[in-house]
DNA sequence: GGATTGACGTCTG
DNA sequence: GCAGACGCCAATC
C-alpha cells in the first residue's frame, strides 16, 4: 500500500506504524522498503521534517542504541519517550532490545 | 559536475 | 570477539 512517493515518505509511513512500546532498526526499515542502504533511513529522518506523527525516537540502530538522540532537542528526550512507553533504557541503550524489537517485515503486508 | 557527508549495516582482518 | 574498511543512495558543498 506504500505509494511510490519519496523514499523518506515511505520511511515515515513505516515508522508511523511502529506500535507503542516497540522499536525498530534502520536496517529493518531499509530492508522492508528495499532502500538498499540503512543510511537512507537515517538520512531521511534527519533531512525530512520531523513530524510529531513520526515517532523517530522509536528508530534505533541495530545495537539498540539511541544513536539519533543527538539530533533531538535534548539527548534525554528520546530516552524519556521510550521509557514512557515501557521500554527500559540504560545509558542511551535499549535494554531487552530483542523483546521490544519490532520489524516491519513481520507485518507481511503488501510488499 | 565532482567530492564529501550522513540518525547505519555487513564483511573481512 | 573487537577493530577497521567498504558499501549504499541521495543531498549538500
Q: What is the pLDDT of residues A60-106, one digit of tens each?
A: 999 999 998 988 989 999 999 999 999 999 999 999 999 999 999 88
Closest nt to A25 (CA→C1')? B8
Judge whether residue A33 contacts strand C, using its CB and a 7 Å cut-off: no
pLDDT at A96: 93
pTM: 0.89
Asked if A94 contacts A82 with a C-beta cutoff of 8 angstroms, the reply is yes
Report which of residues A47 and A109 the model is more confident about.
Answer: A47
What pLDDT band is residue A59 in, cutting at 50, 70 and 90?
A: very high
Phi first, then psi, for residue A56 (nearest 5°) are -65, -20
**Mean pLDDT, chain A, whole residue set:** 87
Amino acid at each position: 500500500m506504500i505509494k511510490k512517493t519519496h523514499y523518506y515518505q515511505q520511511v515515515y509511513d513505516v515508522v508511523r506504524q511502529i506500535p507503542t512500546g516497540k522499536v525498530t532498526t534502520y536496517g529493518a526499515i531499509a530492508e522492508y522498503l528495499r532502500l538498499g542502504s540503512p543510511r537512507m533511513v537515517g538520512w531521511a529522518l534527519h533531512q525530512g521534517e520531523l513530524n510529531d506523527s513520526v515517532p523517530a525516537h522509536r528508530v534505533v540502530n541495530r545495537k539498540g542504541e539511541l544513536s539519533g538522540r543527538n539530533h533531538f532537542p535534548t539527548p534525554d528526550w528520546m530516552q524519556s519517550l521510550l521509557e514512557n512507553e515501557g521500554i527500559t533504557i540504560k545509558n542511551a541503550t535499549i535494554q531487552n532490545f530483542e523483546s521490544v524489537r519490532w520489524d516491519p517485515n513481520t507485518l507481511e503486508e503488501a510488499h
